[in-house]
Amino acid sequence: MLSKTKAKNISTAIAHPFAVLFIKLRISADVITFIGTLGVCLTSVIYFSRGQFLIGSLLFTFFVGFDALDGTMARMLNKKSKWGAFFDSVMDRIADGVVLASISYYFLIQQENLLFIVSLVALISSEIVSYTKARAEGFSHQILSRTADPQNPGKTLMDRQFSMVKKASIKSKDEVIASRKTT
């Protein structure tokens, strides 16, 4: 089985010469991201929606390669940025949606009701995961303090809740002691 590190090294080795070419042509990583997304979307609409999965899969694989290429270019130029990561993520979600919508459309037209429902559930689920992650990160920024552990926000929330309970129990204990002194 191919490890994640080996797969990344192979991907980088393949992407590197193309990255050098596009850098020499002064094409930005964002443009490469957009071209890859556009290619995936057009391939999906033209081929997957018609059930032409072989040619569609070949073209899809080609355009998905652009996803590795944009990151390689950004690293080579030392221009990794939050914007680039955000843009890449948004384009990936758009591509995911169009691919699954095209496949869903094909199954709908073919009156393959079960496969239509399964592909529709896959479409909705893929978008919900992204939304849920983004929303949870938004809540984390609102709820957690600056000292929060970003790798484990649940632990930070538990620590805060424990701290609040502890403070409340100390306050209650102090109130009990104070009330005993007055009586």
Active-site amino acid positions: 92
Q: Count the Cβ atoms, other than its own, within 10 Å of residue 33.
A: 24
Token output for 107: 């199954």
> CA 13 to CA 100: how far, in whole Å?
30
How many Cβ atoms from other residues are within 10 Å of residue 40's Cβ? 26
Q: How much of the chain is helix, strand and coil, in % rounded to 5? A: 85, 0, 15
Question: In the 8-state DSSP scheme, what is residue 150?
Answer: T
Gap between the Cα atoms of 102 and 99, Å rounded: 5
Q: Please state, in angstroms and rounded to a whole number, the distance separating the CA atoms of residues 143 and 156.
A: 10
Rounded (10°) angle between helices 82-109 and 113-143? 160
Cα–Cα distance list, 155 to 99, 136, 139 (Å): 37, 14, 15
